[in-house]
C-alpha cells in the first residue's frame, strides 16, 4: 500500500518513518518553500502542490488530492493541522477510493460544531463545562444565558480549534462589544459565526486522554497527559501522567474519555480534553480532537506504543490490540521548541540554521525537521522540534533528564524557546509537582523572568 502524507515538518517525517517500518510506500507533498525539506528527501516520492502560502498548497484540497491520484496512493495520512480535521477533505479521499487515516468524513462533519459535540457528550453522561444551553446568535441571547452562570465567561467559536476563537468576557458591560468582535473573528477564521458560552473555571488544569476506537467499536483509553503549561491557549509543554491525578481519579477520567469516544462514534485515534479542578477528582469535558496530536510522543514514550502505526491499523480495519507498558513510576515530558524569542514576547523568527546539535542518550527523543544551513521562514507554524524525556524512576528523574537534554540542544541562526524551557525546569512550583497551579500560571510567571 502507498500512503500520501498530506503534511510537512516533523509530523510528516514521523509518519514516513512509521510507513517505512511497516514496509509501506510513502508519497510526500511539499510547497515550493519546502522543496529542500527533510520530509521530501525521506519519502519514496514527492509532489509539489504549490507556492508557500498554505491556502495555495497544504490547505488546497484539490491540489493535495491531485497529488494523491497521480502518485497512485491508496491511503492518505493528514498529520495534524492543515486538513487533518477537514471533513470535506476526508470525504473527498473516501469518494476517490482512498483510505483516510482518521475519522470518516461524515462523522467529522457531525462533530464540527463544538457546541453540538458537547451536547452529544453530555447526553452520554460525561460531565461538561457549565455553559449556554443553545448556540448563540446575538449578544442579547448571550446575556440571558449568563444569568444562570454569572461572570466571567468565555465566548467560544462553535467551529474554532487549536486554542483559537476564545474571548474572555469579565463583565456584562463588555459582552455586546466582545460578542460582535468574536463573531466577526470566527467568521473570518473559521467561515462560521456561531458562538457559545462557557463558565470560566479560574483554577483548572488542562488534562487530556488519548483514546483509540476500532471499526468494531472496541475502545482503549491510555494514561492522561497534563497540558497545563500554556501561553495564550497554546500548549508549550506536556507531561504524563499528571502529577495531580491518583489511580482512582484516573480510572474515572479514562472511562469518561472512552464514553465520549463511543458517543461520538469515532473510529480512529483521538484525544479527549478535560479541565481538572483543584479537588483533583472533578473534571469537565472540553472538546475532542479528531487527529493525531503534536504531543503524542509523550504517550508513546511513557507506554512503549507507536500511535501512528496504531492509527494506520485502525484505518485499514485491523482490531484494536495494544500492549502498553505498566505505568509504575514511569514519567514522560515533552518540551515544544518553537522558533520564537521569549525575550521579545515570543515573537516568531526566521533565518538560516547555522548550527543544529541535538541531544541524545537513554530516555531522550527528538522529533524535528531542522538540518544545518536550512532556511526557516514564518510561513507556517513555529514548532521546529520536540524534546521528549522519559524515566522509569519518576517525575523528578524525568525533569533532570529534560534539563540535561535542553542543555545539550544547540540551535543557532534562529530564535528558539529553549531558554524558556530551561528556566521552567528550574521553577520550584513546576518542578516540585505538589503545589497546584492552573492554565494561567504563565501569565504571572513570565513577567518575572528575564530571557537573553
Whose cell is 449568563? That residue is: 146
In order of 1, 5, 182, 291, 450, the CA distances from 84 in angstroms are 20, 11, 24, 6, 37
Asked if 130-199 and 328-452 have one fold, the answer is no
CB atoms under 10 Å from CB of 414, counted, come to: 22
DSSP sequence for 216-271: T--EEE---EE---EETTEE-EEEES-TT--HHHHHHHHHHHHHHHHHHT--SEEE
Predicted model pTM: 0.94
Q: Left (φ > 0), alpha (ψ -120 to 50) or beta: where does 298 sit?
A: alpha
- The C-alpha cell at 295 is 504531543
Closest CA to 188 of 216, 157, 217: 157
Catalytic residue among 205, 213, 259, 291: 291
Q: Where are the domains of the chain?
A: 2-101, 130-199, 202-325, 328-452
Strand order in the sheet with 99-100: 45-48, 25-30, 2-5, 75-77, 99-100
Residue 197 is given by DSSP the state E
Residue 101 is given by DSSP the state S
* The CATH fold of domain 130-199: Dna Ligase; domain 1 (3.30.1490)
Architecture field, domain 2-101: 3-Layer(aba) Sandwich (3.40)
Whether CATH 3.90.470.10 fits 328-452: no
pLDDT in 10s for each residue of the chain, 452 residues: 999 999 999 999 999 999 999 999 999 999 999 999 999 999 999 999 999 999 999 999 999 999 999 999 999 999 999 999 999 999 999 999 999 999 999 999 999 888 999 999 999 999 999 998 888 999 999 999 999 889 999 999 988 766 677 899 999 999 999 999 999 888 887 778 889 999 999 899 999 999 999 999 999 999 999 999 999 989 999 999 999 999 999 999 999 999 999 999 999 999 999 999 999 999 999 999 999 999 999 999 999 999 999 999 999 999 998 889 999 999 999 999 999 999 999 999 999 999 999 999 999 999 999 999 999 988 999 999 999 999 999 999 999 999 999 999 999 999 999 999 999 999 999 999 999 999 999 999 999 999 97
**Dihedral angle at the C-alpha atoms of 101, 104, 107, 111, nearest 10 degrees?**
30
Whether CATH 3.30.470.20 fits 202-325: yes
The question of whether 225 is a catalytic residue gets the answer no
Amino acid at each position: 500500500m502507498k500512503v500520501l502524507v498530506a503534511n510537512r515538518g516533523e509530523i510528516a517525517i514521523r509518519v514516513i518513518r512509521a510507513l517505512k517500518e511497516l514496509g509501506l510506500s510513502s508519497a510526500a507533498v511539499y510547497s515550493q518553500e519546502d522543496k529542500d525539506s527533510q520530509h521530501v528527501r525521506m519519502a519514496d516520492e514527492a509532489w509539489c502542490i504549490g507556492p508557500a502560502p498554505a491556502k495555495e498548497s497544504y490547505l488546497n484540497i484539490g491540489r493535495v488530492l491531485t497529488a494523491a491520484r497521480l502518485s497512485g496512493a491508496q491511503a492518505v495520512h493528514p498529520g495534524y493541522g492543515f486538513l487533518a480535521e477537514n471533513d470535506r477533505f476526508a470525504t473527498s479521499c473516501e469518494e476517490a477510493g482512498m483510505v483516510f487515516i482518521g475519522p470518516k468524513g461524515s462523522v467529522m462533519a457531525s462533530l464540527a460544531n463544538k457546541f453540538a459535540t458537547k451536547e452529544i457528550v453530555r447526553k452520554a453522561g460525561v460531565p461538561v463545562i457549565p455553559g449556554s444551553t443553545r448556540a448563540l446568535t446575538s449578544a442579547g441571547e448571550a446575556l440571558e444565558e449568563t444569568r444562570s452562570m454569572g461572570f466571567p465567561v468565555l465566548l467560544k467559536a462553535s467551529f474554532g480549534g487549536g486554542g483559537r476563537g476564545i474571548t474572555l468576557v469579565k463583565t456584562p458591560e463588555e459582552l455586546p462589544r466582545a460578542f460582535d468582535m468574536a463573531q466577526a473573528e470566527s467568521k473570518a477564521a473559521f467561515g462560521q459565526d456561531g458562538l457559545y458560552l462557557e463558565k470560566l473555571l479560574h483554577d483548572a488544569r488542562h488534562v487530556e486522554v488519548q483514546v483509540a476506537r476500532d471499526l468494531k467499536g472496541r475502545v482503549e483509553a491510555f494514561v492522561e497527559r497534563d497540558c497545563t503549561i500554556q501561553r495564550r491557549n497554546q500548549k508549550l509543554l506536556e507531561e504524563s501522567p499528571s502529577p495531580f491525578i491518583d489511580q482512582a481519579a484516573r480510572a474515572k477520567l479514562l472511562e469518561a474519555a472512552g464514553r465520549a469516544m463511543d458517543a461520538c462514534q469515532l473510529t480512529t485515534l483521538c484525544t479527549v480534553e478535560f479541565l481538572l479542578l483543584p479537588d483533583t477528582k472533578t473534571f469537565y469535558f472540553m472538546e475532542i480532537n479528531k487527529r493525531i496530536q503534536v504531543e503524542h510522543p509523550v504517550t508513546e514514550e511513557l507506554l512503549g506504543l507507536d500511535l501512528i502505526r496504531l492509527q494506520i491499523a485502525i484505518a485499514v480495519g485491523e482490531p484494536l490490540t495494544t500492549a502498553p507498558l505498566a505505568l509504575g513510576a514511569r514519567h514522560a515530558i515533552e518540551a515544544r521548541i518553537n522558533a520564537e524569542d521569549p525575550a521579545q514576547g515570543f515573537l516568531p523568527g526566521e533565518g538560516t540554521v547555522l548550527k543544529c546539535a541535538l541531544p541524545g542518550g537513554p530516555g531522550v527523543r527528538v522529533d524535528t525537521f531542522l538540518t544545518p544551513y536550512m532556511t526557516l521562514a514564518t510561513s507556517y507554524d513555529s514548532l521546529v522540534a520536540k524534546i521528549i524525556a522519559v524515566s522509569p524512576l519518576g517525575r523528578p528523574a524525568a525533569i533532570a533528564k529534560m534539563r540535561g537534554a535542553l542543555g545539550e540542544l544547540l540551535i543557532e541562526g534562529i530564535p528558539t524557546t529553549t531558554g524558556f524551557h530551561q528556566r521552567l525546569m528550574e521553577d520550584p512550583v513546576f518542578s516540585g509537582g505538589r503545589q497546584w497551579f492552573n492554565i494561567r500560571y504563565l501569565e504571572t510567571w513570565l513577567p518575572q523572568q528575564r530571557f537573553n
